[in-house]
Amino acid sequence: MENQKNSRRTFIKKSSMAFVAGSFLPQFSAKSYANIIGANERLNVSVMGVNSRGKALAQNFAIQDDCAVMHICDVDSRAITNCLTVLKDRQTTTPKTFTDVRKSLESKDVDALVIAAPDHWHAPASLMAMQAGKHVYVEKPCGHNPNEGEILVKAAKKYNKVVQMGNQRRSWPNVIEGINAIKDGAIGRVYYGKGWYTNNRPSIGIGKNVPVPDWLNWELWQGPAPRKKFKDNLVHYNWHWHWHWGTGEALNNGTHMIDLLRWGMEVDFPTKVSSNGGRYRYNDDWETPDTQIINLDFNTGQTMTWEGRSCNGKSVEGSSVGVVFYGENGSLLIPSGNSYTLFDLNGKIVREVKNEQQIDARDLSNPAEKLDALHIQNMFEAIKNGGSLNSDIDSGHKSTLLVQLGNIAQRVGRSLEIDSSNGHILKDREANKLWSRTYEKGWEMKL
């Protein structure tokens, strides 16, 4: 394990965004030295939601020399026990544990909250953290609905806090190089971008109302969402496919690809959005589309699409997930990993930049730990030295919004006309009802 930790540190320190550590006393490792109070500018974090992705994040934050995971929070007692076990190999500090994240936020020992709870918790927890004086690392999507994203943008300014969204590809070196190549004109004017995600997800079946397991605090799991009875096929992953808590494959994985397209094409808000698809593969409780194509048109003479296939894993361009930019002089492919390929108009490879790091985009919890550490360190640099974030909440909200608009178009069954100055839906009362949500009494988001 120590060799594994050292290899991670070596990778981080070699990157341009790495934290440069000082000299260490000979009897201490880098990590143990960091745990001495006052030894350096250590950041203490609390991690919310540690069953799967959150457990991976907790391990990644813990391995950073300038960080300690002080708290872990989860409504599942089993997840807390499991996370405590894996963190023993990552840091010398034993985290305090909490069922209710609000108790963790009361602590002065915490500088930042890391959020990997279900989607309906992302924005409310982020807001509570900022109001408690904490910085935020929130997994995508930054909100369950567009209104929540707008609130977070305002909150970050009001409370003067660093908020990084977890679209980690923004910090992957070769992806950055590929995006810069596009901006530098490598394929000429870009007028079309295509993103996709494919998988072979099984049926979630028909759930039954059963007693809440003794390991789960169902009341706190629901948190901001209006109350519903517990079913045996919701926790921990299948909530993604229910509009009440989740946002479907579009925001679960599409957010990453739409973000790359928006970044490379240098666009913000569209003028028109449409979506086609549905739940086609199985007859079960799954509500969101398992097959979906979202189209977004921009007033810059550009368009982008995202194709999601949750239940048919046939790859596109040899990758289960990725984007392609199409321009006047060629195209550029960014597949699942930290790499890109530049093609001429005839499809001939002009430049190919690879990375030795193997990435499994279908890994639900930890597809690219070493690369994701760069995103974490970028946040730390912003907190400590005022550096710019690779994915601040304003940018994160814009990318999230594009896919949210696609879901709204899908749910109302028609194209949406959009105000290109702010992303708001024009002249559609039914669609605008989905701009926000109702909350359980007492859980409303208020600045």
Q: Cα–chain-centroid distance for residue 168?
A: 7
Quote the CA–CA distance of 109 and 121 in Å, as a whole number: 22
Q: Where are the domains of the chain?
A: 2-169, 172-207+216-361+397-432
Q: Report pLDDT digits (tens) over 175-225.
A: 999 999 999 999 999 999 999 999 999 999 999 999 999 999 999 999 999
Quote the CA–CA distance of 78 and 326 in Å, as a whole number: 47
Whole-number pLDDT of residue 13:
41
Give, for 158, the enclosing helix (H) or strand (E). helix 146-159
Strands annotated E in 19-105: 43-48, 67-73, 96-98
If we measure between CA atoms, which residue out of 130, 172, 176 comes closest to residue 393?
130
- H helices within 284-392, ranges in order? 369-385
Per-residue confidence band for 51, with pLDDT thresholds at 50, 70 and 90? very high
Backbone angles phi, psi at 96, to 5 degrees: -75, 155
Per-residue confidence band for 14, with pLDDT thresholds at 50, 70 and 90? very low
Residue 133 neighbours by CB distance under 10 Å: 13
Average pLDDT, the chain: 91
For range 10-28, the mean pLDDT? 37
Q: Which three-class secondary structure state does DSSP give residue 137?
A: strand
Quote the CA–CA distance of 94 and 416 in Å, as a whole number: 50
CA angle 101, 105, 106 (to 5 degrees): 120
Q: Report pLDDT digits (tens) over 104-126.
A: 999 999 999 999 999 999 999 99
Per-residue confidence band for 12, with pLDDT thresholds at 50, 70 and 90? very low
Is it the case that residue 19 has pLDDT exceeding 70? Answer: no
Answer whether 259's CB lies under 8 Å from 167's CB: yes
Per-residue confidence band for 6, with pLDDT thresholds at 50, 70 and 90? very low
Whether CATH 3.40.50.720 fits 2-169: yes
CATH architecture under which domain 172-207+216-361+397-432 falls: 2-Layer Sandwich (3.30)
Whole-number pLDDT of residue 3:
47
